[in-house]
Amino acid sequence: MIVLARAITYAALFIGFVLVFLPARVLSWFGITALPPVGLGAAQVVGMGVGAWGIALALWCVGAFAIFGKGTPAPFDPPRQLVIRGPYRFVRNPMYIGATFALAGAALYYESLTLLGYTIVFFAITHGFVLLYEEPTLRRLFGDSYLAYCREVSRWWPRQRPKGGT
CA dihedral (57, 102, 135, 84) in degrees, to 10, reads 0
The count of C-alpha atoms lying within 13 angstroms of the C-alpha of 144, restricted to the half-sphere facing its C-beta, is: 0
d(CA 64, CA 44): 30
86 contacts 79 by C-beta, under 8 angstroms: no
pLDDT score, position 145: 95
Amino acid in the structure at residue 164? G
Residue 113 neighbours by CB under 8 Å, 6+ apart: 107
Residues of the chain with pLDDT under 50: 166
H or E, element range at 79: none
60 contacts 86 by C-beta, under 8 angstroms: yes
Residue 147 neighbours by CB under 8 Å, 6+ apart: 139
Residue 149 neighbours by CB under 8 Å, 6+ apart: 82, 84, 92, 142
d(CA 165, CA 27): 42
Summarize pLDDT for 54-64 with one digit per residue, the tens: 999 999 998 89
Amino acid in the structure at residue 96? Y
d(CA 132, CA 109): 33
